[in-house]
Chains A and B, each alone.
Chain A
Amino acid sequence: MNLLTRIADIFGFLGHFPAYAIAYIVETLIVIIFGTVAVAGMVYLFRKYMARVQIRIGPNRVGKFGLLQVMADGLKLFQKESIMPSGRDDLAYKVAPVMVFIGLMMGFVFIPYGPLAWFGSLTVTHSDVSLVILFALIAIMPIGEILSGIASNNKYAMLGALRGVAKDISFEVPMMLSILSVVVMASANVTNPLDLNGIIQAQSIPFIILEPLGFIIFFISMIARASQSPFDMGESDSELVTGNTTEYSGLRFGMFYLGLFGTIFLGSMIVSIMYLGGYNGPEVGYLGFVWLLIKTMILVVITLTVWLSMPRVRIDKFVNFGWKILLPLSFIQLIAAGFLTLGGIA
């Protein structure tokens, strides 16, 4: 019994197909709301955590402990006038933030959340190739960022977008190779290694123990994907003002902002699914979702700590790092995964 069937049961009087259609829509809405709330929560957590690291207090005025600060900021962004540059590429300029936002939210829909108490499994879609779909979807986000840089008619944004492209290509390939090695490992135990659920089920021993190298490569790539320090060359505020988002304001900027934090959250979730066993843990059938959240939050905190303590890497050094270190390492990792699978260890 999972959440989808429960919702479908409620609408059962409409017949099988309409009931499930409505159930899918409802659950997608639930997931999107969850995603937004999770990201808002993460912004709050980040601000509090950052303040603590930096000997400050952080938000403490709006609501108890400043809990409503994020909401207030969101409202402010809603109300603000969106100041648009003249000479922009109008359609691209307006579509770009939406692409980032949609890419992020669609990523959330394909995550296997695992079961939670009475609700059962919270997962929305059950596809045999959900891994492929997920990575195809989150690959939409960089396109939005590049588009925004090109459309803004601003040199800072342009340079930021160029840097973004250089950065994206240099870590995508190692990242995909390390995913491939995860699939190779999973294929030894399960019949559906391209399904995220299958990957989780294959991890009776979490892959972080079997493939520490792959974990490191993938985690670095995920931090780079979120384009936050030390890999925030695209946005680098001390050099390019804010890179591709320079000319955005109001709600459109809010979407980019949500995209940044959402990617951290989504990325940490994907890492914990791929390498930390996702919802695996004691009492899976009852607490699976909680385990996933705990693992995700640990990774989020690590990511934020890295963010707060590192200076920015120079773009050429990062490209070198991606092609000359990460890529060979991920090949080694792939070969090692193959041997582990053949040897029957995984």
Chain B
Amino acid sequence: MENGLEKKYIELNMGPQHPSTHGVLRLKLLLDGETVKHVEPVIGYLHRNAEKICELDYYCDSLIYFDRMDYVAAMNMEIGYLEAAEKLLAIEPTERVKWIRVVMAELGRIASHLVWAGAFGLDLGMLTPFFYFFEEREKILNIFTEVSGSRQETNYMSIGGVYQDFNDKIIYKIREFLKQFPKKLEEAYSLFVKNDIFISRTKGIGILEPEVALSYGVTGPMLRASGVPYDVRKDAPYLVYDKLNFDIPISKGKDVLSRFIVRFEEMRQSVKIVQQALDKIPDGPYFNPKAKKSLMIRLRGEGDVYARTESPKGEFGVHLIGDGTVKPYRVHVRSPSFKNLSILPYLSRDVLIADMVAISGSIDLVFGEVDR
């Protein structure tokens, strides 16, 4: 510097225990006053190496490790694994199971987005909406409890089927939830978007160009908010998504606000999907007889498959390799949060700390999934 003073940056270590890091993210920041010069995410604090554990287990046992990846949307994780496992083991789920899974996946998506929206509000200093969202989420978790017996780590599905068939009580509960949910959602939505401070905190912050997003491997609502309409449910339909009528919301805004709006629109679409699916569920068995419980640990698979599903965070891919034994030879998980997090250093160059928190909040990080 001209006056003989050396310019020094502040090094700040944010996390792994910090209110806004959504788990155990650690950020090494280099600050010039309030401006972030460089961010280095340090991850791995929740690493359990589920991929290795899966190699040591039977095909049917691996499911629970997927529950614990994206622990706020366990249903979607199960579907992700089962899509791959069923392809590898050549066991087709029955028609009824496919519809049931769609209902559960979309409820899980709503639950996940609700958690995100609440946590995002907290990142921006809004405490109250968090409780509104969790109230609604709790209703979904009640439905999960009804079908599977547990709230969060459901372990509901199994190879070729589900643990328990839908009964009238479950369907009634879901319908009751859907009846009141849209109104509550709009109410909570207006709490955000009608607030000038919220708009000023999010609009034009963290602009992510579509080319950059694709290059970084960003998927899910992050990518759609940048204007790329990539959704596995439409582009490579699995289960029965090709028989359902829904839209993929995209936004041209590319900023934090449009990520917020896209996620809310997705919740509305999910409500639509669940309603349609509930009307269309066909009768039939709720598991494939080829994969009944006594045969489960004798399932053998050979070959190599890669199955993509759309988890609430983005493209969730499972690469599964079997060598003809009862255990998988190699499991690799493409976790969307992991890829989405890699964009953080790019997005938070020369922004204020407050904006960096907003950006990292808008990514929707779940550390069970980033670290696996």
Contacts and interface: CB of A to CB of B under 8 A. Distances in A.
Direct contact of A and B (CB under 8 A): yes
Contacts of A314: 200-201, 352, 354-355
B34 A309 contact: no
A312 B12 contact: no
Nearest to A237: B19
Contacts of B135: 55
Nearest to A307: B127
A188 interface: no
A345 interface: no
Contact of B10 (A54, A155, A236, A237): A155
B131 A312 contact: no
A54 B128 contact: yes
A240 interface: yes
Interface residues of B, number: 32
A163 B353 CA distance: 12
Contacts of A173: none
A310 B191 CA distance: 9
Interface string B88-101: 00000000000000
Given A159-B34, A241-B19, A315-B34, A236 B125 contact: yes
B59 to A, nearest CB: 42
A311 B124 contact: yes
A29 interface: no
Interface string B1-25: 0000000001110000011100000
A53 interface: yes
Contacts of A230: 125, 197
Given A55-B132, A238-B20, A239-B20, A312 B125 contact: yes
A230 B31 CA distance: 24
A317 interface: yes
Contacts of B353: 159, 239-240
Contacts of B125: 229-230, 232, 236-238, 310-312
A311 to B, nearest CB: 4
Contacts of A155: 10-12
A26 B252 CA distance: 67
Contacts of A315: 34, 352, 354
B122 interface: yes
Contacts of B11: 155
Interface in A288-319: 308-317
Interface string A53-67: 111100000000000
A8 B126 CA distance: 51
Contacts of A313: 197, 200-201
B221 to A, nearest CB: 20
A158 B28 CA distance: 17
Given A55-B132, A312-B354, A314-B352, A238 B124 contact: yes
Contacts of A229: 125-127
A309 B122 contact: no
Interface string B348-362: 000011110100000
A261 to B, nearest CB: 16
A310 B194 CA distance: 11
Given A308-B127, A311-B121, A315-B352, A238 B200 contact: no
Given A237-B125, A309-B128, A313-B197, 15 more contacts: A50-B127, A54-B127, A155-B11, A159-B12, A163-B34, A230-B125, A237-B19, A238-B357, A239-B354, A309-B126, A310-B197, A311-B198, A312-B197, A312-B201, A314-B354
19 contacts: A54-B127, A54-B128, A54-B130, A55-B131, A55-B132, A56-B131, A159-B12, A233-B354, A238-B122, A238-B124, A238-B357, A239-B354, A239-B357, A241-B18, A311-B124, A311-B195, A312-B125, A315-B354, A316-B352
Interface of A: 50, 53-56, 155-156, 159, 162-163, 229-230, 232-233, 236-241, 308-317
